Amino acid sequence: MKTIKGPAIFLAQFAGDKPPHDTLDHLCKWAADYGYKGIQIPTWVSALIDLEKAATSQSYCDDLKGKVQSYGLEITELSTHLQGQLVAVHKAYDELFDGFAPKEVHGNPKARQAWAVQQLLWAAKASENLGLHAHVTFSGALIWPYMYPWPQRPAGLVDQAFKELANRWTPILNAYEDAGIDLCYEIHPGEDLHDGITWEMFREATGNHPRVNILYDPSHFVLQQLDYLQFIDIYHPYIKMFHVKDAEFNATGRAGVYGGYQGWVDRPGRFRSLGDGQVDFVGIFSKLTQYGYDGWAVLEWECCIKDSEQGAEEGAIFIQNHIIEVAKKAFDDFADSGVDQALLDRIIGK
């Protein structure tokens, strides 16, 4: 067993254009003042990182690490959630997802995809230059509109989609293999990889590529009504990253899992600040510790009720209180009578 590292915080939901959220220096001081020990950096926020420069300049990465460390923090991982989404986009979402990419590729799905792939390749090299071990992204989706189909899906559609998804991701995965970085897909509704079964299908389609791994976020499983503790039992060898995010699901006589097109406040399933939802974090931290997860516990704050600043302040304390310091000796060592071979033989009747 190993002790989980943390607390850390994902900066995506906090980065902005006003202090203390406008620059990397300001955010580092802000996070450190709340008690965080690590930051997870969204690579699409240019104020926090120049991804191309991080991929091509070791001195830039050394300076970036030094700046973060000067505040008593570590860079836990980099994120390409938005870029990864664009590796595979169903045409129904083309216009909506154009906003994730530069204007020069808007209206041109092939150019947008090529831009996204380059971003992922840079992220692999940047992670290597920063001395990191894992990276988080989204898989994108080719058949999400057919998740709950009517009329029924054409025969072979799912297999064909996962074959194409694997074709798009395998060269990227190979780059992560070369860089020695685990590529962790956040299992997330809206992505073709949205539960354990779909992750398995993708991994199989890639030939069980060794860099196909998982970012574990229980909040998305609460909203699907999936057993998030058993998920750890099944997939713990592949869980290389952990977002600590809370959620709740309160079904009514009017709406359930699909939410009735309601806004976040009125959905039965909704994200909450840590400790305000229904997630059993005692069970999660216990299982991850039991299975030897030694990565970071990273707050991802999303809540439809509580202010983000309060959520960030409370989150550091919440995570710290849930990290389990691994036992250095067995609790019953005091009763150990030593090894006596003759006694052992007598006990078994030899």
Sketch out the chain's domains with CATH numbers: 5-347 (3.20.20.150)
The C-alpha atoms of residue 201 and residue 192 are separated, in whole angstroms, by 10
Amino acid at site 248: E
pLDDT tens for residues 256-300?
Answer: 999 999 999 999 999 999 999 999 999 999 999 999 999 999 999
- Find residue 215's DSSP bridge partners: 186, 241
pLDDT tens for residues 208-258?
Answer: 999 999 999 999 999 999 999 999 999 999 999 999 999 999 999 999 999
The C-alpha atoms of residue 94 and residue 301 are separated, in whole angstroms, by 27
The C-alpha atoms of residue 334 and residue 332 are separated, in whole angstroms, by 5
Instruction: Judge whether residue 335 has pLDDT over 70.
Output: no
Instruction: Judge whether residue 334 has pLDDT over 90.
Output: no
φ, ψ of residue 74 in degrees (nearest 5): -125, 150
Q: 328, exposed or middle or buried, with CB in 10 Å at 0-12, 13-18, 19+?
A: exposed
Amino acid at site 74: E
pTM here? Answer: 0.94
Q: Provide the mean pLDDT of the chain.
A: 96
pLDDT tens for residues 29-78?
Answer: 999 999 999 999 999 999 999 999 999 999 999 999 999 999 999 999 99
